[in-house]
């Protein structure tokens, strides 16, 4: 799981965890912090591959929600997300 990439013995071991849902804003904050003058632009890769635009709440069944809540329990808690499995 992803949480093992940025924690040691359950403790966050990185300076910053960027939120994917605001990746452009996160990169802009890092750019300013690091003194990079030019804006960083993200490519739009694979955007055309997702044809179903429904939200996860509309697509996932109860069993799916419970499994996700179980698998990503630590990430959900760490990031302050609310995931009603």
Q: Of the candidates 18, 21, 20, which has an alpha carbon nearest to the alpha carbon of residue 31?
A: 18
Exposure string of 40-74, with b = 16+ CB inside 10 Å and e = fewer, is eeeeeeeeeeeeeeeeeeeeeeeeeeeeeeeebee
The confidence band for 85, taking pLDDT boundaries of 50, 70 and 90, is: low
Does pLDDT of 3 surpass 90?
Answer: no
Is the four-CA dihedral 23, 58, 50, 73 of positive or negative sign? positive
Per-residue pLDDT reduced to its tens digit, 26-43: 999 999 999 999 988 888
């Amino acid at each position: 799981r992803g949480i093992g990439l940025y924690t040691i013995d359950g403790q966050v071991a990185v300076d910053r965890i960027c939120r994917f849902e605001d990746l452009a804003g996160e990169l802009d904050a890092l750019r300013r912090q690091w003194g990079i003058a030019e804006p960083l632009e993200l490519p739009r890769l694979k955007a055309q591959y997702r044809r179903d635009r429904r939200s996860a709440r509309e697509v996932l069944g109860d069993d799916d929600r419970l499994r996700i809540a179980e698998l990503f329990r630590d990430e959900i808690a760490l990031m302050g997300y609310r995931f009603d499995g």
